[in-house]
Amino acid sequence: MKTSNTPSTAPRTAVAQVHELPNLPFPEIKVLWRKLFGGETPTHNRQFLERQLAYKLQEVEFRKVDSGLLERNNKKIASLIATGKLRKRDRDFHPTPGTLFTREYHGKVHQVIATADGQYEFEGRPYRSLSMIAREITSSRWSGPVFFGLKDYAAKSTAKKGGTK
């Protein structure tokens, strides 16, 4: 009796599946192709097939991770149609899960990871916003996007001064 090599407790991640592609026998490559694309392989060029499969596996995985992406894009499109202008950054900006933010502050390097649920992880604890983390680090109120370099504070304050004259 043959047993499966994969644990039954959790499905393999897209990264693990992509990593395994070069070691899969060609018949299994064809089976995976049929599963993901719904047809026969268009070529017998293994390198081409592996690249297409890797892309598709990641596409499927990230579609699961960020289910609100379609809704946010529809809002942006509606705004663009209504106003003819696209804002530089929406307030509901969410970085791709796994994005690593790094900031050196008072000689110590601080790292924050964006999580799949739209939050951030800092020192093993979840936070709802970068601003909460910036406040934790500095013990004072900071804009998280400014603190981590996502927004330029100087450009914003200069624009305000210029507009009041």
For 80-139, write each residue's pLDDT tens digit: 888 887 766 555 567 778 788 888 999 999 999 888 778 899 998 999 889 999 999 999
- pLDDT tens, residue by residue, 46-84: 999 999 999 888 888 776 656 677 787 888 888 888 888
Distance CA 87, CA 95 (A): 17
Distance CA 58, CA 55 (A): 5
Q: Where are the domains of the chain?
A: 14-65, 100-163
pTM of the model: 0.43
Distance CA 145, CA 132 (A): 11
Distance CA 67, CA 96 (A): 12
Looking at residue 165, its pLDDT comes to 43
Distance CA 53, CA 33 (A): 7
Determine the average pLDDT of the residues in 4-25: 72
Distance CA 42, CA 31 (A): 13
Looking at residue 65, its pLDDT comes to 59
